[in-house]
C-alpha cells in the first residue's frame, strides 16, 4: 500500500545509476582510449569530425561503456548523433553497468530527435536493461516527453512490457510521475489500465528463507564435524559454495511446495464474549503479529494506484476516464485507490474519488477502511521512519474526509483484523496492538473529541474494545507474584482487551514508551474521559485483558487531575493487574527511562493503593 512506503514507480537513477561523467577505469594498468567518446561528452562536434576523419574508432567506449553515441543521446545532440551513425556507430552498444543502449539514454532524457534517429538506424526498441529489464518506453514514459513516447510506439514498442524487478509497465512509470499526457497517449496505444505489478508474498518469502537457512546451517555443521565450538575453524570456499547451493535448492523446494495460505476474508463482527473470533481464515489462536504476517503481501499495484499514491489528481482522473476501476484493490494487500489516497495523506484526492463514486467501505486485507485511515493518518505516531506529511498541505481536514465518508454510507463500526504494521513500522514504542480496533477506538486513543462525537452521531458503538492477541509484550518485570492476583476471569484469545476509556486515559504509557511516540489532541485527556463517562456511560472500573484499569493508565502518566475525576466517579484505586501492579506501582517508574511521579504516588497511597516500591527506572 505504501510504502510507508511512498516511493514513486521505478526511475532510472533509483534502480541503476549511470556514471554519466568521465570515468577512468584502469584495465591491466592501461587507461582506456576513447577520444571520440571524450569529445562527444564535451559536445565538441568539430573535434569529433576531425577524429573520425583521422580514423579514430567511432565505437571506442569509455571505462563505463559510454560511447560517443551514448553521449550524443544524453546531451540530445541530434546532429552529432546522425554524424556518428553515418560513421558506423553501433546503435546496440551497451554500458558496462546495466546494459543501457543509446536509445535507453535518449528516451530517459526526453531527446525525441535523437530517439527518432536511433530508431531509423535500427535500434532495438524493446531491448531491456540488465538491471531490471527496463525498456526505452519505460524511460520515455517517465520523462514525460510525449514525442518520445509516440516515436517509440510507432517504432513497435510493446506498450505493456514489464520490467523485471517489480513488474511495472510504462503506464505505471508515467502514472507515478504524473505524466498525464503520456498516460493518455499510452492508453490510446492500447496500454492496459488494469494490469498490476508483481506481488511479493512476505510470509512465503520468509518461510523460504527460513528453510534455506536451516539447510545451510546443517551443511556447514556437517563440514565442521566434531571440531569443538570456539575453535577457529572456517569453511573452505568449496564448502561455502556447497552450503549456498543447498540453501538455494531448499528455497526452491519451499517455493514449489505451494503458495502461502491466503487470508483474504474480512474480519466478522463477533460477539465480544465468544472465543471463536477469526482473522481472515486463521483462528484467533493462530493470530500472529510477526512482521511477515502483518505486512502480508506487497505490490500488485495498477497504474491508478501509482498515481493515487503520489497524489497526481490529473493523472488519476485521466485513468478513470479511460476506464480504470475506481475501486480496484491491489493484488497485494487489497488496498483500494481511495484507501491509498487517505493512508498517504491525500485527503483532497480522497474526496474527489468519493465524489466520483468510490465505495468508502472497501477494506484492505487488514480490514482497514478509509474512515479508520483518515484518523490514523492524521494522528500517526512519531516513528523512526518518517510518517507522511501530505495531509498538512490539503485543503480538506481529516474531519472533512470523515464527514463526507459517513454521509456516503461508510460503516463506523468496521474493526481491524490485525494490527497495522505501518502505524509505527518495525520499531514499536507504543506497545499497542490495534487488532479489533474501530474508528471510534482510534479517535478515543487520539483524544479527538470532534471525531468521537461525529462517529457517535453516525451510529458508532462506543463500547468496542481491541481484541486480545495470543501473546502480549511487557517491557517490565512484575513486582508481585507470578500468579494472577487480580481476581478477574480469564479472557480468551480474541476476547475483549482494551476499551476506549483505557485508550483515552493513556493505555500502555506504563508498559512501553508511548510518551515519546504517541500523538494526540493537546490538553484533551480530561475532556475525552469526561465525554466517555458522562455522555457515553463508560465504566470507570473497566479492566483490559491484562487487568489494568483506567486509573492504572492515568497513574502511569502522573495525571492527578484525571485520577481525581475517575475516583470521584467511583473508580477503585486499590485494584491490581494480573501481574500484581497496583495503581501506585504504575506511577512509580514501572519501566526503564520513565521517571516516577512522587505526587501521584502519594495521592494513590492516600486513596488506599499499595506501593510495592518496585521502581525499575530507579535501579
Domain CATH number, residue 468: 1.25.40.20
8 A C-beta contact, residue 410 and residue 435: no
Residue 72 inside a domain? The answer is yes
Measured distance CA(186)–CA(152) in Å, rounded = 11
Helix (H) or strand (E) holding 26: strand 26-27
Measured distance CA(3)–CA(446) in Å, rounded = 23
Cα-Cα-Cα-Cα dihedral of 547, 550, 555, 560, to 10°?
-160
Residue 269 inside a domain? The answer is no
DSSP string, 351-418: HHHHHTT--TT---TT---HHHHHHHHHTPPP-SSPPP-GGGG-SS-HHHHHHHHHHTT--TT---SS
Q: Where are the alpha helices (DSSP H) in 135-268?
A: 136-143, 146-154, 170-176, 180-188, 202-224, 237-256
**Among 142, 463, 423, 62, which residue's Cα sits nearest to residue 310?**
142
3-state secondary structure of 336: coil
- 474-530, pLDDT tens digit by residue? 444 445 556 889 999 999 989 999 999 999 999 999 998 999 899 999 999 999 999
Q: How many CB atoms lie within 10 A of CB 619?
A: 7
3-state secondary structure of 502: helix
Confidence at residue 271, expressed as pLDDT on a 0 to 100 scale? 34
- Residue 231 makes CB contacts below 8 A (sequence gap 6+) with none
Reading the block at residue 492, the C-alpha cell is 480468551
Residue 21 is part of which domain span? 12-193
Count of the separate structural domains present in the chain: 2
Q: What is the 3-state secondary structure (H, E, C) of 255-307?
A: HHCCCCCCCCCCCCCCCCCCCCCEECCEEHHHCCCCHHHHHCEEECCCHHHHH
Confidence at residue 212, expressed as pLDDT on a 0 to 100 scale? 86
Name residue, grid cell 502514472.
175
pTM assigned to the model: 0.86
- Strand partners for 278: 283
Measured distance CA(409)–CA(370) in Å, rounded = 12
At 370, phi and psi to the nearest 5? -60, -30
The DSSP 8-state label assigned to residue 479 in this structure reads S
Confidence at residue 482, expressed as pLDDT on a 0 to 100 scale? 63
8 A C-beta contact, residue 276 and residue 270: yes
Residues 186, 334 within the same domain: no
**Among 184, 101, 185, 195, which residue's Cα sits nearest to residue 151?**
185
Residue 406 inside a domain? The answer is yes
Query: Which residue, 172, 193, 214, sits at the end of a domain?
Result: 193
8 A C-beta contact, residue 439 and residue 398: no
3-state secondary structure of 172: helix
Residues 331, 187 within the same domain: no
Helix (H) or strand (E) holding 299: strand 297-299
In the chain, count H helices and then E strands.
28, 6
Residue 372 inside a domain? The answer is yes
Residue 488 inside a domain? The answer is yes
Q: How many angstroms separate the first and last alpha carbons of the chain?
A: 43
- In total, the chain counts a number of residues equal to 619
Strand 282-283 relative to strand 278-279, pairing: antiparallel
Confidence at residue 215, expressed as pLDDT on a 0 to 100 scale? 87
Measured distance CA(47)–CA(62) in Å, rounded = 17
Confidence at residue 305, expressed as pLDDT on a 0 to 100 scale? 98
Measured distance CA(107)–CA(483) in Å, rounded = 70
Cα-Cα-Cα-Cα dihedral of 46, 47, 48, 54, to 10°?
110
- 80-137, pLDDT tens digit by residue? 999 999 999 999 999 999 999 999 999 999 999 999 999 999 999 999 999 999 999 9
Measured distance CA(512)–CA(617) in Å, rounded = 13
Low-confidence stretches of the chain (pLDDT < 70) are 1-32, 230, 256-287, 426, 471-482
Residue 233's Cβ-side half-sphere holds a number of Cα atoms within 13 Å equal to 15
3-state secondary structure of 576: strand
- 126-161, pLDDT tens digit by residue? 999 999 999 999 999 999 999 999 999 999 999 999
Reading the block at residue 198, the C-alpha cell is 508483481
Query: Which residue, 193, 224, 244, sits at the end of a domain?
Result: 193
Confidence at residue 258, expressed as pLDDT on a 0 to 100 scale? 54
8 A C-beta contact, residue 505 and residue 532: no
Residue 235 inside a domain? The answer is no
At 272, phi and psi to the nearest 5? -65, -15
Query: Which residue, 165, 193, 221, sits at the end of a domain?
Result: 193
Helix 180-188 with 313-321: angle, nearest 10 deg:
20
Residue 271 inside a domain? The answer is no
Residue 91 inside a domain? The answer is yes
Helix (H) or strand (E) holding 31: strand 30-31
**Among 241, 237, 182, 528, which residue's Cα sits nearest to residue 379?**
528
Amino acid at each position: 500500500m505504501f510504502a510507508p512506503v511512498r516511493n514513486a514507480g521505478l526511475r532510472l537513477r533509483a534502480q541503476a545509476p549511470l556514471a554519466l561523467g568521465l570515468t577512468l577505469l584502469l584495465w591491466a594498468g592501461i587507461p582506456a582510449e576513447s577520444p571520440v567518446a571524450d569529445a562527444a561528452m564535451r559536445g565538441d562536434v568539430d573535434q569529433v569530425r576531425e577524429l573520425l576523419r583521422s580514423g579514430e574508432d567511432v565505437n571506442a567506449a569509455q571505462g563505463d561503456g559510454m560511447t560517443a553515441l551514448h553521449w550524443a543521446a544524453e546531451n540530445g545532440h541530434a546532429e552529432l548523433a546522425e554524424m556518428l551513425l553515418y560513421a558506423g556507430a553501433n546503435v546496440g552498444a551497451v554500458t558496462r553497468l546495466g546494459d543501457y543502449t543509446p536509445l535507453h539514454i535518449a528516451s530517459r532524457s526526453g531527446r525525441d530527435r535523437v530517439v527518432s534517429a536511433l530508431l531509423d538506424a535500427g535500434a532495438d526498441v524493446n531491448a531491456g536493461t540488465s538491471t531490471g529489464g527496463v525498456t526505452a518506453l519505460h524511460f520515455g514514459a517517465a520523462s514525460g516527453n510525449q514525442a518520445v513516447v509516440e516515436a517509440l510506439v510507432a517504432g513497435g514498442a510493446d506498450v505493456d512490457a514489464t520490467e523485471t524487478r517489480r513488474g511495472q509497465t510504462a503506464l505505471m512509470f508515467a502514472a507515478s510521475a504524473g505524466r498525464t499526457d503520456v498516460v493518455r497517449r499510452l492508453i490510446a496505444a492500447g496500454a492496459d489500465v488494469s494490469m498490476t505489478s508483481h506481488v511479493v508474498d512476505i510470509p512465503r518469502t520468509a518461510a523460504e528463507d527460513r528453510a534455506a537457512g536451516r539447510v545451510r546451517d546443517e551443511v556447514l555443521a556437517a563440514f565442521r564435524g566434531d571440531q569443538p565450538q570456539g575453535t577457529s575453524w572456517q569453511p573452505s570456499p568449496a564448502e561455502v559454495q556447497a552450503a549456498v547451493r543447498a540453501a538455494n535448492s531448499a528455497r526452491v523446494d519451499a517455493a514449489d511446495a505451494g503458495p502461502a495460505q491466503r487470508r483474504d476474508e474480512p474480519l466478522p463482527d463477533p460477539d465480544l464474549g465468544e472465543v471463536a473470533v477469526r482473522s481472515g481464515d486463521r483462528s484467533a489462536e493462530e493470530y500472529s503479529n510477526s512482521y511477515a504476517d502483518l505486512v502480508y503481501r506487497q505490490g500488485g499495484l495498477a497504474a491508478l494506484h501509482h498515481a493515487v499514491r503520489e497524489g497526481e489528481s490529473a493523472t488519476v482522473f485521466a485513468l478513470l476516464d479511460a476506464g480504470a476501476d475506481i475501486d480496484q484493490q491491489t493484488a497485494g494487500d487489497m488496498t483500494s485507490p481511495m484507501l491509498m489516497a487517505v493512508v498517504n495523506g491525500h485527503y483532497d484526492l480522497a474526496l474527489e474519488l468519493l465524489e466520483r463514486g468510490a465505495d468508502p467501505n472497501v477494506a484492505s486485507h487488514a480490514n482497514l477502511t478509509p474512515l479508520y485511515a483518515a484518523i490514523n493518518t492524521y494522528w500517526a505516531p512519531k516513528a523512526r521512519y518518517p510518517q507522511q506529511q501530505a495531509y498538512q498541505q490539503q485543503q480538506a481536514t481529516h474531519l472533512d474526509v470523515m464527514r463526507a465518508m459517513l454521509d456516503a454510507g461508510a460503516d463506523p463500526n468496521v474493526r481491524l483484523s490485525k494490527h497495522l504494521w505501518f502505524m509505527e513500522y518495525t520499531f514499536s514504542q507504543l506497545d499497542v496492538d490495534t487488532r479489533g480496533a474501530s474508528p471510534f477506538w482510534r479517535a478515543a486513543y487520539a483524544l479527538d473529541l470532534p471525531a468521537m462525537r461525529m462517529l457517535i452521531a453516525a451510529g458508532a458503538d462506543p463500547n468496542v474494545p481491541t481484541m486480545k492477541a495470543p501473546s502480549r509484550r511487557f517491557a517490565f518485570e512484575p513486582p508481585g507474584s507470578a500468579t494472577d492476583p487480580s481476581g478477574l476471569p480469564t479472557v480468551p484469545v480474541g476476547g475483549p482487551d482494551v476499551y476506549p476509556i483505557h485508550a483515552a486515559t493513556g493505555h500502555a504509557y506504563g508498559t512501553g514508551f508511548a510518551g515519546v511516540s504517541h500523538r494526540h489532541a493537546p490538553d484533551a485527556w480530561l475532556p475525552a474521559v469526561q465525554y466517555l463517562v458522562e455522555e457515553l456511560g463508560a465504566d470507570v472500573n473497566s479492566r483490559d485483558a491484562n487487568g489494568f484499569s483506567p486509573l492504572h493508565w492515568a497513574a502511569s502518566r502522573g495525571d492527578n487531575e484525571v485520577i481525581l475525576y475517575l475516583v470521584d466517579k467511583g473508580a477503585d484505586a486499590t485494584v491490581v493487574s494480573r501481574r500484581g501492579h497496583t495503581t501506585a506501582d504504575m506511577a512509580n517508574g514501572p519501566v526503564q527511562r520513565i521517571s516516577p511521579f512522587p505526587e501521584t504516588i502519594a495521592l494513590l497511597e492516600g486513596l488506599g493503593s499499595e506501593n510495592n516500591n518496585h521502581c525499575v527506572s530507579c535501579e
